Amino acid sequence: MDSLWLLLGGLSVALDPMILLYALIGVTLGTAVGVLPGIGPALTVALLLPATYGLDPAGSLIMFAGIYYGGMYGGSTTSILLNTPGESASIVTAIEGNKMAKAGRGGPALATAAIGSFVAGLIATLLLAFLAPFVAKLALTLGPRDYFALMVLAFITVSAAFGDSTLRGLTSLFVGLALACVGIDQLTGAARLDFGVPQLLDGIEVTTLAVAMFAIGEALFVAGAATGPALLNATGSVRMTAADWARSWKAWLRGTAIGFPIGSMPAGGADIASFLSYATEKKMSRHPEEFGHGAIEGVAGPESANNAAAAGTLVPLLTLGLPTTATAAIMLAGFQQFGLQPGPLLFITNAELVWGLIASLLIANVMLVVLNLPLVGLWVRLLLIPRYWLYGGILVFATLGTIGISPSAVELGMLILFGVLGYGMRLYGYPIAPVVVGLILGPMAEQQLRRALAISQGDWTTLVATPISAGLLSIAALFLVVPLLLRLRGRGKVLTQLGGDSD
């Protein structure tokens, strides 16, 4: 009941005209970037970090959340009409959605995606409102060693979840952890890795790294790519038939039930949720023969799952300060930009901001339904923008934003250096998100480790002395070892088959 009253109080914050404007800007930008392949929510939030430096914290964070939600909505439009997912979580939607569009049922496909996203976003946001306070209270009971174990789990799962190789993910993580060591040691006051450059004594700005790795690196990587495919009109009425409703509503609920808990997990994410939802719908459908030829459940379920997962990722972000997606990592940097540290104390020290943010997500869902269906033609037309204009603008905006925060030649040099690093990492298949996560969480993990060791007088066994810390470290070890064992097992089977063929 307390959560209900707090949510109602948050609605009074979210209904402020300026906050509504921020939310509208966020969902509009999010839908636009979801439509454009290669321009994801993480890149957009990273670009806006410098621009929002002097703005209201509540409005800026609500705008960032609106971009995240809008990106999930917008990705379905091009998946269905163009077979070109704007977001990786919308890849599954393209399987059935584009088949429906080619069969003249693009309208119902867009409608079930939009309504399913609305239903899932609404339910998942309410679950976030009622579950987050309980998780925050639980987090208040954790000690330094438990927090350190939790951050180790976040490091391992983020490294394993992003990219095709756990080793490459860990390599990216250690790059971020190394960058986190730059600056003055918080405990001893000694300068570390400053190379005699005074500007590095304050450490590397998360904003500079995020803009460089996501915006500059991405722009350099995809600038020379080919233009998008030919446009496919959404033929037929957008209205769904009674049969469409009957086949969709259960898929919406199942997708929500799958997406929210997976989004809340350290190794979860919208991609995993959408694939699991599609597999579930295929098994439970009364029309399995339609899958691969335009089954409406194959659009309704995955779209609900990826939007529910987007709300789910805010649970560990707000209650524990742990990002589980690239966009969540950039949002964490946004909190820190305003001097806020997500975690259990945030619900006490900045309750109005937290509940205003959660309540604004309910309003954002309504805005997105209104924006998505009537303006489908406009969103698809964004694909006609020449890429050299689009990415040239991104490079200019990223540079001006960074200089606006810190007009320094050193900061501009780091922007270029990290941008080239981001380009090289993409070129060779190294994930970007673990670098940013390492820079953000590295200092906090170091601080908790030192506290735990100071309390135990240097006894390293204290790190596994409580059931929580031992359990979290064991789970982290499983996330690290199990994929390697499965990969080795797969290689063994391949070698056995090759040996049999040669005989």
Q: What is the pLDDT of residues 334-349, one digit of tens each?
A: 887 788 888 778 878 8
Q: What is the pLDDT of residues 149-206, one digit of tens each?
A: 878 887 887 676 555 677 888 888 899 899 988 888 877 778 888 787 887 887 887 7
Collect the ranges in the chain with pLDDT lower than 50.
226-236, 494-495, 498
Overall number of domains in the chain? 1
Q: Confirm whether 499 is domain-assigned.
A: no
Q: Which helix (H) or strand (E) holds 147?
A: helix 144-161
Q: What is the pLDDT of residues 358-372, one digit of tens each?
A: 888 888 888 888 877
Q: Confirm whether 476 is domain-assigned.
A: yes
CB 444 within 8 A of CB 121: no
Rounded Cα–Cα distance for residues 358 and 84 (Å): 31
Q: Confirm whether 450 is domain-assigned.
A: yes
- Give the structural domain span for 476: 2-493
The pLDDT value given to residue 338: 81
Q: Confirm whether 470 is domain-assigned.
A: yes
Count other Cβ atoms within 10 Å, centred on residue 102: 15
Q: Confirm whether 142 is domain-assigned.
A: yes
Q: What is the CA radius of gyration of the chain?
A: 23
Q: What is the pLDDT of residues 389-425, one digit of tens each?
A: 777 777 877 777 677 667 778 888 888 899 889 888 8
Q: Confirm whether 99 is domain-assigned.
A: yes
Q: Confirm whether 501 is domain-assigned.
A: no
Chain center to CA of 159: 14
- Does pTM surpass 0.85? no
Separate counts of helices (H) and strands (E) for the chain: 22, 2
Q: What is the amino acid identity at position 9?
A: G
Q: Confirm whether 500 is domain-assigned.
A: no
